[in-house]
A and B are shown apart, each in its own frame.
Chain A
Amino acid sequence: MTSLADNQSEGKILILATETCAYPGADSVGQAHSSYPANTFILRVRAPALFPEHFYLDCFNKGISGIIIMSCGEECPYDGAYKAMATRLDRVYVMMRQQELDIRRLRLTAICTVCNRAFLNEVNQMNKVVQELGPPQMAQS
């Protein structure tokens, strides 16, 4: 599949949302009928610690403009997964810098099942970032 996103001007945002916290949190935003940018794509994940470093780089390479990892934070049902995730992310940031990718394109945050305001805030913030930065350009691609 080609790696250029269609409709580049929109800038696509990938959201990794935990099954027990952030994903129901996004549903709660829906139940409140609070609108947010439509260039957002939510993947339901059990724990974002599943994704290896290269997954994030691959996403940017494919044309994803921004990634928000919405975890459970301290509420994580898997004891220790959040810490594993946070250290993994430090390495991803190093790799992003090497690729001359603005690290604001990747954000880790905690969203609870009723954190509507926080969800909207994160999405709008990231949307601002991707509109400002435009499509990702990798140094080595």
Chain B
Amino acid sequence: MADENKDKAITSKRKVGVYICYCGGNISDHVDVEKVRERIEKLPEVAAVRTNMFMCSDPGQEMIMEDLKSGAIDRVVVASCAPSLHETTFRGAISRAGRNPYIYEHANIREQVSWVHHGDKATDKATRLVSMATAKAEQLNPLEPIRVEAGKHVTVIGGGIAGLRAAKDLADRGIKVVLLEKSPFLGGQLASLDQIAPTGDKAADLVSDLAGQVLNDDSITVHTCSEVESFEGYVGNFRLGVKKQPPEMDPEKIKPPGAAGEAAGEFIPFAGVYNGDMPSVPAEFTVETGVIILATGFKSYMPSKGEYGFGEYEQVTTLPELIRSMAENKAAGNLMEFNGRKIRSMAMIHCVGSRQIPGIHPENEGGYLNEYCSRTCCSATLNVSNIIRTSHPGTRIFEFYRDIRTYGRGQEELYEEAARNQVVFLRFEDDASPEVVRNISHSGDFPLMVKVKDTLTFGEDVGAPVDLVVLVTGVEPNTISDLVEMMKLPVGTDRFLLEVHPKLRPVELPISGILLAGTCQAPMDVGEACNAAGAAAVKAAALLGRGYVELDPFVALVDLEKCGGTGECVNACLSDGALNMVDMEVDGQTVRRAQVTPALCLGCGVCVGVCPENAIEVAGWTLKQYEAMVDRIVAEEVTA
């Protein structure tokens, strides 16, 4: 058993393989990766160090697998991006090489080094983080994942177009679905639209068609008027407490569906598809489910009083209101009518409540700004303008915009069509929003005037006298703070739900078994929301496909040789039943010792901190491993 590596004395019984990623320059622009390699090669426990442009690529993963198969290494450290992105990738590669995936440790040298430090300091810190990881890896033992049965069952929360799409896609794969919708209707916000950009589809048709398929599918149980009240469990075995209750409706304004004889499955304009299920008294039930898909959607931005005259002048309205008015009043005529008034001239003001800039726009109620682009409103507005100009050629339209963002297939055409339809475009700078004022000084009997410094005419001050001002209001995430709190969902700075990775894992959350679909994640159009829903459905099906899920075995382990039976750990344990004192035979004597029930153990380690004998550990996260890492932080030789 000749030792190949003659440069250093092997004092470790482990052979740690280290793989350091350039991340296409993301790491190597700031960290001298080859220098890290040279230093790490000198560590006693390290048997091989390799570098690669992209460790997560197939060739990168192959390197690890080959070294494991050849026996060159028996522990693995990858130094790359954050572990949330690729820890599972590399554990997977180890499994494919036929080894236990828990012989792996990750060193985060991108998010926690190259993106925040520069020069020699970055290289030194990266070296130290890698040496800490190898010190831990040296002590890692193979662990068996905890396998639990997983019901082939998914719960979709939210019955908008995204929730409907996800539910139907899952049912088509033979998976049972419960769909929970808080309102009495299916279809979400799409049900409040009319003709959809850019295809011209009728929203009613899209919603009726898909909701019909969902309601007719035996694998899908739809509960309307239902909201999640409690949440517990883990992937494969979630338990949701659901409350179903009569909706709060203003009887003056909305007649309860069903009362007017609507049949189940019927589309009610600006409400959605009614499923014939209207509870008269509150009821509670539980749902046991394997995966949860969040499809809770968005709400329209509500302008504050006085914003562009909103709430002050009755002639100022919003895009959703205009869409509704047009759908309910389809009579042709030279002039469009709104609220019984003929509209000779109207203004559309883009980006209201979207793309807000700190220091320029006042904060919204609640102290935040919507800095994002709502993405669908440019096309929706141009679409509406084209319909008006075609059906009511006498109605003139001025569109005031900051930028026109018609990004998708068939959308730029809407802009060109609007120009051909003689919609007049005026462009304003970020810090020079148009002003809506009462029209007093000018001739004519137009009630309002929209004034702007128009950059298309090189800064000319322009005023457009109008009968109607339409605020192109964007979207905001729905208020789901109860779900966020219950499920500990990550929320972005924009308040939308935050995926694990925007490019690589766009519909997943860090919480295994909870997925995202549609506009609860970001502004999307209908096609994009359905895309996301389809992706979430496939991910859910893949998670449940094997009939069981494997949980990380990071649970408490008692060292019976050390355990003195004091029971301190049992007193401190946070999870009822996870730790118990039991009688057992040790060396022919009956003694009381601590025993762990793995399925109930949270792996929090509270017991570790209290054991006077250091007899209990959390597998994969032991105190000894941490101590070895601290030793490497202070060790002199590492960066020598």
Verify if A132 is at the interface (C-beta below 8 Å from B). no
The size class of the interface chain B forms with chain A is 35 or more
Contacts of B634 in A (CB 8 A): 1, 3-6, 12, 62-64
Q: Do B635 and A1 touch across chains, with their CB atoms under 8 A apart? A: yes
Q: Do B631 and A1 touch across chains, with their CB atoms under 8 A apart? A: yes
| Known A-B contacts A55-B623, A62-B634; A38 and B125 likewise in contact (beta carbons under 8 Å) | yes
CB contact list, B585-606 vs A, under 8 A: 602-606
Q: Do B110 and A30 touch across chains, with their CB atoms under 8 A apart? A: yes
Chain A nearest CB, measured from B283 CB (Å): 28
- Provide the B100-115 mask, 1 if CB < 8 A to any CB of A, else 0: 0000000010111001
Q: Do A81 and B128 touch across chains, with their CB atoms under 8 A apart? A: no
Contacts of B572 in A (CB 8 A): 84
Q: Count chain A residues whose beta carbon lies closer than 8 angstroms to a beta carbon of B.
A: 47
- Provide the A97-117 mask, 1 if CB < 8 A to any CB of B, else 0: 000000000000000011000
Q: Pick the residue among A27, A38, A77 that contacts B122 (CB under 8 A).
A: A38
Q: Do A50 and B623 touch across chains, with their CB atoms under 8 A apart? A: yes
Verify if A58 is at the interface (C-beta below 8 Å from B). yes
- Provide the A59-102 mask, 1 if CB < 8 A to any CB of B, else 0: 10011100000000001011111001000100000000000000
Closest residue of chain B to A63, judged by CB? B634
Cα A75 to Cα B488 in complex, Å, equals 8
Verify if A14 is at the interface (C-beta below 8 Å from B). yes
Verify if B65 is at the interface (C-beta below 8 Å from A). no
Q: Pick the residue among B115, B125, B611, B633 that contacts A14 (CB under 8 A).
A: B633
Q: Do A33 and B639 touch across chains, with their CB atoms under 8 A apart? A: no
Verify if B479 is at the interface (C-beta below 8 Å from A). no
Contacts of B633 in A (CB 8 A): 5, 12, 14, 41, 64
Cα A90 to Cα B129 in complex, Å, equals 30
Verify if B551 is at the interface (C-beta below 8 Å from A). no
Verify if B352 is at the interface (C-beta below 8 Å from A). no
Chain B nearest CB, measured from A41 CB (Å): 5
Verify if B407 is at the interface (C-beta below 8 Å from A). no
Verify if B82 is at the interface (C-beta below 8 Å from A). yes
Contacts of A31 in B (CB 8 A): 111, 115
Verify if B629 is at the interface (C-beta below 8 Å from A). yes
| Known A-B contacts A27-B111, A41-B633; A55 and B602 likewise in contact (beta carbons under 8 Å) | no
- Number of residue pairs spanning A and B whose beta carbons lie under 8 angstroms apart: 138
Closest residue of chain A to B124, judged by CB? A38
| Known A-B contacts A6-B635, A55-B627; A30 and B618 likewise in contact (beta carbons under 8 Å) | no
Verify if B35 is at the interface (C-beta below 8 Å from A). no
Verify if A133 is at the interface (C-beta below 8 Å from B). no
Closest residue of chain A to B621, judged by CB? A46
Q: Do B606 and A30 touch across chains, with their CB atoms under 8 A apart? A: no
Chain A nearest CB, measured from B276 CB (Å): 40
Verify if B145 is at the interface (C-beta below 8 Å from A). no
Q: Do B488 and A33 touch across chains, with their CB atoms under 8 A apart? A: no
Q: Do B111 and A26 touch across chains, with their CB atoms under 8 A apart? A: yes
Verify if A134 is at the interface (C-beta below 8 Å from B). no
Contacts of B631 in A (CB 8 A): 1, 62
Cα A141 to Cα B602 in complex, Å, equals 37
Closest residue of chain A to B493, judged by CB? A114
Contacts of B249 in A (CB 8 A): none
Verify if A140 is at the interface (C-beta below 8 Å from B). no
Contacts of B554 in A (CB 8 A): 46
Q: Do B112 and A30 touch across chains, with their CB atoms under 8 A apart? A: yes
Chain B nearest CB, measured from A33 CB (Å): 5
Verify if B574 is at the interface (C-beta below 8 Å from A). yes
Cα A5 to Cα B639 in complex, Å, equals 12
Chain B nearest CB, measured from A116 CB (Å): 9
Of the listed residues B112, B122, B629, the one surrounded by the most CB atoms of chain A closer than 10 A to its CB is B112
Cα A1 to Cα B43 in complex, Å, equals 13
Q: Pick the residue among A24, A38, A63 that contacts B84 (CB under 8 A).
A: A24
| Known A-B contacts A50-B618, A64-B630; A42 and B112 likewise in contact (beta carbons under 8 Å) | yes
Cα A16 to Cα B604 in complex, Å, equals 14
| In the complex, the 9 A-B pairs of residues with the closest C-beta atoms, listed nearest first | A50-B605, A30-B111, A78-B604, A6-B636, A38-B121, A27-B111, A30-B115, A5-B634, A38-B117
- 11 other contacts beyond A4-B634, A30-B110, A38-B116, with CB at 8 A cut-off? A6-B639, A6-B640, A27-B112, A30-B112, A30-B115, A33-B115, A46-B618, A58-B627, A58-B630, A80-B574, A114-B498
Residues of B that sit less than 8 Å from A by CB: 82-84, 108, 110-112, 115-118, 121-122, 124-125, 128-129, 132, 488, 490-493, 498, 510, 554, 572, 574, 602-606, 608-611, 614, 618, 621, 623, 626-627, 629-631, 633-636, 639-640
Residues of A that sit less than 8 Å from B by CB: 1-6, 12, 14, 20, 24, 26-27, 29-31, 33-36, 38, 41-47, 49-52, 55, 58-59, 62-64, 75, 77-81, 84, 88, 113-114
